[in-house]
Structure 1
Amino acid sequence: MSFFSVISADEISKGSTPMALKVIQDKGVGVTPDLRIIVNDLNEGNKQFLNNGYGGISFKIDVIINKNDMFGNTTVLEKLHEWMTTMTPLYVVTEAIDIKNDRYIISKNSDRKQTYRDNTVWSLEFIQFKGINITKFKNDNSYVNKAKKNYAKAKKKAKASKKSKANSTNKNKLKKCKLSNLKYGLKKSNCVKYMQKVLKKKGYLTKKQVDGYFGPVTKTALKQFQKKYKKKYKLKANGKVDKATLKALIKV
């Protein structure tokens, strides 16, 4: 019998002694080369050879297990079954020259013989465990934050552009209005509504007050507008729409 011992990192941390496997020497140890070549049959009798890359050494051993042998608080049979089903990486130490002492996973139990009295034979296949390469990045979300800022900036710009376009549209519509369409007391007037939208843009009215009614609220707002632009456009702060006021409303 050749010497094979296996143990998991978890068992090492618990201070357990490695599990010694009783390998049937006369059956030998089957070792598969590192490279895995896959051959596919193509049309007209051609073949395609694919190198699936370095898969690590794999080997197969036949071991005798006594059903009463214990490993810690469980039987050897139960522990091997646990390692196999959970694909636990195991540290393998062996005297076999062509098998590297390294970490392996039990890939399968390909040939489980019937138990004879207290012993059974398992054909265990091991494959070298290569692990996963992890690349660490600085977790400061700099790219995410930059993207969020750019998005917020673009959204703000689009919103401003939309408002500017809407305001320009209102002014163009107001330009077509006559003074008779902007008299105090008018209700449901589109021209009054265009004027109110310009006053709202300048902060003299709220959205709710844009209703097409030229009443006291709109008159007060218009007076405030006239007072602010009195010198620039030579306006009278009287709350009435004259040529100078209409011109100022369109230009501001």
Structure 2
Amino acid sequence: MGRIDFSVSDGIAVVVLDNEAKRNAVDAEMRAGLTEAYARIEEDDDIRVAVIRGAGDKAFSSGGDIDAYQENSSFGPDGGGPPPIPRPWPIWKPFIAAIQGYAVGGGFALALACDLRVVGRGARIGPTGLWRGAVQGAQQSQRLTRLIGLSKALELLLLARTVDGEEAAAIGLAQRVVDDESVVDAAMEWARTIAGYSPWAVARTKELAYQGQNMELADAFAWEADVALEGYRREDALEGFSAFTERRDPRFG
């Protein structure tokens, strides 16, 4: 049985998928733990950014626990199928996936649900549902086409193809590729940077980026202008610009 390890330090929540014996496959207890972790990240004002990683160095997550699915008769005419794994949207705090080893199936879906992905060069990530006769679900087809474009997404989806870290970065699936042993450190470096910014400004930046994609361009521009004006009127902006003129680091609440 796996578990979710959850910790918070200096505004950074670290969520560890811990089921090493099964390449961090997500079982029922872990699904419940993820739901709890997401709720705390969303509700706790002291948390500014989250990092999701797998336990050990062999896998981020291999997806759902297939043995458990079969025991629960999830497949076949009366099966309910595996439950969805991802969520982060519409949580407006940033999520960073630190990917070592395998991130396939539902594990790939979970990585796609994050906003930033740091991958190791030796990682293998991609949609693998077709290997098992299943549709690439858990939001994979919708997120992947938006992330890397329809043409490349169809290649990965229809061939059920995994890619290594270098290719993931080249096609825009990951934003940063590093040596495998440096993945967590690199993800935490980004998390510390984000945690140092205004939480309100970070959340609104993420919200504008996501929600603006569904708007007419003129409407999106107008909305962004309104949000930016609101930001300039907040204490964080006063602190940020004051710190610049006073040649010191800002201290955002």
Given the two structures, how large is their TM-score scaled by the length of structure 2?
Answer: 0.18
Q: Which has the higher strand share?
A: 1
Given the two structures, how large is their TM-score scaled by the length of structure 1?
Answer: 0.18
Task: Mark the structure with the bigger radius of gyration.
Answer: 1
Q: Which has the higher helix share?
A: 2
